């Protein structure tokens, strides 16, 4: 009991939640004195880890603001693999100098995505990345090598990794305005393409923007390029499909992401909609585009990836999950999440709370709650006057109702004096979605 008492984790309580939050001072690494057995130290470590897992288990039902699928049903089956060091060093399609890798699993996963995105096995190249950011960095690197003098065009609602790539590769950047729903402003894109006709174009297309979940119209962008006089050898299109890349293919009437269209690369996150305990992603490009390859004698491979050494356990998790889910499981998850997102959005609107939901999106954007403690408790992502909830697999209607009921209780407190009014958010997500008193009078 003495050990338990000494190493109880410090707690910071929030309303209705007794979950403790770890303070870093409890996690100092102790140096074991020579000739002293480490049995007590081991017990202390076990206590800390057990309590940490209890924290995570409690917080799962409040994790609604970020696009992570926290439902891992097969961790016990895959856990024994942790006893092996698996390093997928170098190109996935080349031989490996050691036995401790999972490249066969990696290629199997890549083949699955190649089939999903309609490109033949002998026509694509790709690898499993550490996440969507690395996938975007690699996709735009390929575009940079193909069109060295090209200008990168990206909407202001693009993920920060796109702008990071521009800085890292010293690419000339044109930031494009967005429509009120977060979609790229096609007129602004057109005007800037025409001004820079003397230089090739490298275009980032968002298949679901980070905050509003808006999907850029790939077909219209291609048509715009052609109308502006850009031939196919003078533009390169990268598709950032981090979240929606595993939703749209399974929804009827949604436009396809496919290499049958003139795109250069696609990246998607593995830990988001599909779900994986470690951050990861899948990046695929046309094989003919990966031309600048350098032979690395030390690893008997070619240096085509950004990270070099890659976690070999990740491909096995993805391979296992894809096999267990299958197309039918992913389709059901996609439909359920879209329906639940509509359910949440409708509840907010009926309660007089401004909210928006893009077509085929699972991201519900709404008026930012007034209390920062409430935001932290529900782990909400916010931007200016807006917040959003990402209705992932595992976000049930029970969780949605729990959030909604607590939000309504808190709003009574926030607006009880009758003087404080909800802000006007028409400029941020459209007058049709704003529920301020001015818009109510005109609707």
* pLDDT above 80 (res 432): yes
* pLDDT above 60 (res 9): no
CATH of the domain at 130: 3.40.640.10
- Residue 299 shares a structural domain with residue 333: no
**Domain span holding position 145:** 79-324
Q: Is residue 74 part of a domain?
A: no
Final residue of a domain: which of 36, 62, 88?
62
Instruction: Give the active site residue among 102, 361, 384, 431.
Output: 361
Q: Is residue 69 part of a domain?
A: no
Catalytic: 265?
Answer: no
* pLDDT above 90 (res 438): no
Task: Give the Cβ contact number of residue 230 at 10 Å.
Answer: 17
- Residue 319 shares a structural domain with residue 178: yes
Among 14-23, 173-182, 249-258, the least confident range: 14-23
CATH of the domain at 425: 3.90.1150
Long-range contacts at 413-416 (CB < 8 A, ≥ 24 apart)? 414/369, 414/370, 414/371
Confidence of residue 118 (pLDDT cuts 50, 70, 90): very high
Q: Is residue 259 part of a domain?
A: yes
- Residue 58 shares a structural domain with residue 147: no
Final residue of a domain: which of 324, 354, 378?
324
Q: Is residue 231 part of a domain?
A: yes
Confidence of residue 114 (pLDDT cuts 50, 70, 90): very high
Q: Is residue 335 part of a domain?
A: yes
Q: Is residue 436 part of a domain?
A: yes
Q: Is residue 396 part of a domain?
A: yes
* pLDDT above 90 (res 43): no
- Residue 57 shares a structural domain with residue 87: no
Among 80-89, 108-117, 267-276, 285-294, the least confident range: 285-294
Please report the pLDDT score of residue 167 as a whole number: 96
Confidence of residue 89 (pLDDT cuts 50, 70, 90): confident
Among 57-66, 73-82, 289-298, 417-426, the least confident range: 289-298
Name the token pair of 172.
């000339």
Please report the pLDDT score of residue 71 as a whole number: 85
Segment 151-194, tens digit of pLDDT: 999 999 999 999 999 999 999 999 999 999 999 999 999 999 99
Residue burial 256-265, b: 16+ Cβ < 10 Å; e: rest: ebebeeebbb
- Residue 300 shares a structural domain with residue 250: yes
Mean pLDDT of 303-315: 87
Final residue of a domain: which of 307, 324, 341?
324
Among 38-52, 99-113, 394-408, 412-426, the least confident range: 38-52
Total count of domains within the chain: 3
Among 8-17, 198-207, 353-362, 420-429, the least confident range: 8-17
Percentage of the chain modeled with pLDDT above 90:
72
What contacts 279, CB < 8 A, 6 or more positions away?
130, 131, 269, 271
Q: Is residue 57 part of a domain?
A: yes
Nearest Cα neighbor of 239 from 260, 210, 208, 214 is 208
Please report the pLDDT score of residue 48 as a whole number: 84
- Residue 289 shares a structural domain with residue 405: no
Confidence of residue 296 (pLDDT cuts 50, 70, 90): very low
- Residue 27 shares a structural domain with residue 98: no
- Residue 135 shares a structural domain with residue 27: no
Full 3-state SS string of the chain: CHHHHHCCCCCCCECCECCCCCCHHHHCCCCCCCCCCCHHHHHHHHHHHHHHHHHHHHHHHHCCCCCCCCCCCCHHHHHHHHHCCCECCCCCCCCCCCCCCCHHHHHHHHHHHHHHCCCCHHHEEEEEECCHHHHHHHHHHHHHHHCCCCEEEEECCCCHHHHHHHHHCCCEEEEECECCCCCECHHHHHHHHHHCCCCCEEEEEEECCCCCCCECCHHHHHHHHHHCCCCHHHEEEEEECCCHHHCHHHCCCCCCCCCCCCCCEEEEECHHHHHCCCCCEEEEEEHHHCCCCCEEHHHCEECCCCCCCCECHHHHHHHHHHHHHHHHHHHHHHHHHHHHHHHHHHHHHHCCCCEECCCCCCEEEEECCCCHHHHHHCCCEEECCEEEEECCCCCCHHHHHHHHHHHHHHHHHHCCCCCCCCCCCHHHHCCCCCCCHHHHHHC
HSE-CB at 34 with a 13 A cutoff on CA atoms is 0
Segment 336-359, tens digit of pLDDT: 999 999 999 999 999 999 999 999
- Residue 285 shares a structural domain with residue 259: yes
With tokens 């891992």, the residue in question is 72
- Residue 117 shares a structural domain with residue 207: yes
- Residue 201 shares a structural domain with residue 318: yes
- Residue 306 shares a structural domain with residue 438: no
For the chain, what is the mean pLDDT?
88
Percentage of the chain modeled with pLDDT above 70:
86
């Amino acid at each position: 009991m003495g050990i338990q008492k000494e190493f109880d984790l410090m707690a910071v309580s929030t309303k209705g939640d007794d979950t403790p939050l770890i303070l870093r001072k409890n996690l100092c690494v102790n140096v074991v004195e020579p000739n002293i057995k480490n049995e007590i130290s081991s017990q202390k470590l076990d206590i800390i880890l057990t309590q940490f897992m209890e924290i995570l288990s409690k917080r799962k039902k409040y994790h609604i603001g970020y696009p992570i699928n926290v439902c891992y049903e097969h961790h016990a089956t895959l856990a024994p693999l942790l006893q092996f060091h698996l390093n997928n060093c170098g190109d996935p399609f080349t031989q490996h100098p050691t036995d401790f890798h999972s490249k066969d699993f990696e290629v199997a996963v890549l083949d699955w995505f190649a089939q999903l995105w309609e490109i033949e096995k002998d026509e694509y190249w790709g690898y499993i990345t550490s996440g969507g950011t690395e996938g975007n960095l690699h996709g735009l690197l390929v575009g940079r090598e193909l069109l060295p003098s090209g200008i990168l065009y990206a909407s202001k609602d693009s993920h920060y990794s796109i702008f990071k790539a521009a800085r890292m590769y010293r690419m000339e950047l044109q930031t494009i305005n967005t429509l009120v729903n977060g979609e790229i402003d096609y007129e602004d894109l057109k005007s800037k393409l025409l001004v820079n006709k003397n230089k090739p174009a490298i275009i980032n297309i968002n298949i679901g923007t980070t905050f509003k979940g808006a999907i850029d119209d790939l077909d219209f962008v291609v048509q715009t390029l052609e109308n502006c006089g850009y031939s196919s050898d003078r533009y390169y299109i990268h598709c950032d499909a981090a979240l929606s890349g595993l939703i749209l293919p399974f929804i009827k009437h949604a436009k396809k992401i496919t290499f049958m269209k003139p795109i250069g690369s696609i990246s998607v996150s593995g830990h988001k909609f599909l779900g994986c305990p470690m951050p990861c992603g899948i990046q695929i490009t046309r094989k003919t585009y990966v031309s600048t390859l350098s032979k690395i004698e030390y690893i008997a491979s070619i240096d085509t990836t950004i990270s070099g050494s890659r976690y070999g356990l990740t491909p096995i998790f993805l391979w296992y999950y894809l096999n267990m889910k299958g197309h039918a499981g992913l389709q059901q998850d996609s439909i359920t999440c879209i329906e639940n997102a509509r359910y949440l959005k409708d509840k907010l609107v009926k309660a007089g709370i401004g909210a928006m939901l893009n077509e085929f999106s699972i991201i519900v954007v709404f008026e930012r709650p007034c209390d920062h403690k409430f935001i932290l408790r529900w782990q909400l992502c916010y931007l200016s006057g807006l917040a959003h909830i990402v209705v992932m697999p595992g976000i049930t209607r029970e969780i949605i109702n729990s959030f909604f009921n607590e939000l309504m209780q808190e709003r009574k407190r926030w607006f009880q004096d009758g003087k404080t009014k909800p802000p006007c958010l028409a400029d941020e997500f459209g007058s049709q979605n704003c529920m301020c008193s001015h818009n109510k009078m005109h609707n």
